[in-house]
Amino acid sequence: MPKKRATGAARPYPYRQRRKDGSYVERWKVELSLGKGPDGKYRTKQITASTFRECERKLKEARERLNRTGRVEAHTGGLVRDYTAMFIRDVEHRLAPGTVKQYKRAAWYIDKRIGDMNASDVLVSTARMVQDAPDRPSPAVRTVLSQSLDYAVEDGVLASNPSRAVPPKRKARGVVETSGRRAFSVPELQSMLMVSAGWELPVAARMWFRMLTGMRQGEILGATIDGLRLDGPAPSYTVAWSMTEAMRSHGCGEKAHGRWPCGNIRGAQCPQARWLVPDGLPMRHIRGKLWLKPPKSGKPRVVPLWPHLVAVLQRYLDYTAGWANPHGLLWRHEDGSPITSKEDNAAFKRLLSECGMNPAEHTGHETRYSAVTLLRRAGVDTKTVLEIVGHTTMAVDDIYRTVDMAEKAEAMNELGDSLHLPKGLLPGADE
């Protein structure tokens, strides 16, 4: 008879199992009561193991699973790639196209590493290996893996999310000069401004705008003329839009047996293709894949303009007054078509090369770090810096202080003065 504890709970007991060669081996088993079935009869589940401790562990896990899901057997559910696909389908119409693109890249990386693994087999060590891998495409890998495995928890495949047990790498609070990404030095910025001043005015003005505002590339390319305020005591630009690329997905139905109903592979080729833009987010279609969306913070912000930059922008507006502008863009070609990120990157790399710097060693984002660094060196406080560059991270002691326009304008003047540019240096001076 199976032994029971003094409490009446089942207790593993040994038995002899015959092998194929006729010999015997000692194993352990226990019966877990499942209660009455639909037929009114009591049901049990027999659990076996090679040792007493292993049998006890299996019994405990089975009890917990029974209480949580109503099942004794572990539900393997789907593969990890099934849950990453579920996550991507969920966010496609909720998040900005750029964010979805980043998440898809992270999901591809996860699928490459552990996509064929059963979600039930993912351990904390597995999650750590993927999330902290040096070759991961971005920190978004952690977000995608964690939220994908949340679906597995909801399905009862996992008792808890192993990804959430891996502590994130903490960043220092306040404005941080990011590791691995250096800001341009003052001499380098001086060189870049002076070299670009000799270029054709439309490109030169955009480079100056980039280096002297600390704005993101998408915000620069999506800048609109109606956001400029060049007159008055406090010239500024209101960041209300950012350029982004959206993708198109199949609208012909659900994929079955590895094929879409329309027969095409790419979503853009589907006769019923639909744009993957978030529901409820105000977006404006420009042309092709290019759209305007609200900035990353979700709300407009005002960036003060240094007097030198105001003069450059006024020259640029006069120069391009006769250019077509169906979308109200500040930066555009003569026919009104938008400047793409590829074109902007090419111009910036050209500038780096002409200044004697290796384009492969730099990113366009470094102009933001440069603006932050210059403002901090000029003694501008954290809150003001964050207001100007559109960041949300801030020091605790600055959280409740409001920055007015006068303070931000003074800060930008500090940035410009710290460069010590030659008097009268302006792009388009000879045009």
CA nearest to 32, candidates 74, 61, 75: 61
Q: What is the pLDDT of residue 184?
A: 79
Q: What is the pLDDT of residue 326?
A: 94
Share of the chain above pLDDT 70, in %: 77
* Whether residue 226 has pLDDT greater than 90: yes
* Whether residue 215 has pLDDT greater than 90: no
pLDDT category of residue 175 using cuts at 50, 70 and 90: very low
For the chain, what percentages of helix, strand and coil (3-state, to nearest 5) are there?
40, 15, 45
Span 356-368, mean pLDDT? 80
* Whether residue 327 has pLDDT greater than 90: yes
- Tens of pLDDT, residue by residue over 234-250, are 888 898 999 988 888 88
Span 375-380, mean pLDDT? 62
Q: What is the pLDDT of residue 395?
A: 36
* Whether residue 399 has pLDDT greater than 80: no
- Tens of pLDDT, residue by residue over 265-305, are 888 888 888 887 777 678 888 988 898 988 876 778 888 88
For the record, the structure tokens of 44 come out as 């049990």
> What DSSP element (H or E) covers 325?
none
Span 207-231, mean pLDDT? 89
Span 339-368, mean pLDDT? 87
Query: How many Cβ atoms sit within 10 Å of the Cβ of residue 272?
Result: 11
Q: Which has the higher per-residue pLDDT, 422 or 122?
A: 122
The tokens 């894949």 sit on which residue? 289
* Whether residue 410 has pLDDT greater than 70: no
Helices 341-354 & 201-213, crossing angle to 10 degrees?
Answer: 90
Of 80-84, 263-267, 360-364, 412-416, the range with the lowest mean pLDDT is: 412-416
Average pLDDT, the chain: 79
Span 349-377, mean pLDDT? 79
Q: What is the pLDDT of residue 314?
A: 93
* Whether residue 311 has pLDDT greater than 60: yes
Q: What is the pLDDT of residue 177?
A: 41
> What DSSP element (H or E) covers 24?
strand 24-36
Cα gap 414→416, rounded to integer Å = 6
- Tens of pLDDT, residue by residue over 138-162, are 888 999 999 999 988 888 788 788 8
Q: What is the pLDDT of residue 249?
A: 81
Q: What is the DSSP string of 166-201?
A: S---PPPSS----TT-PPPPHHHHHHHHHHHTTS-H
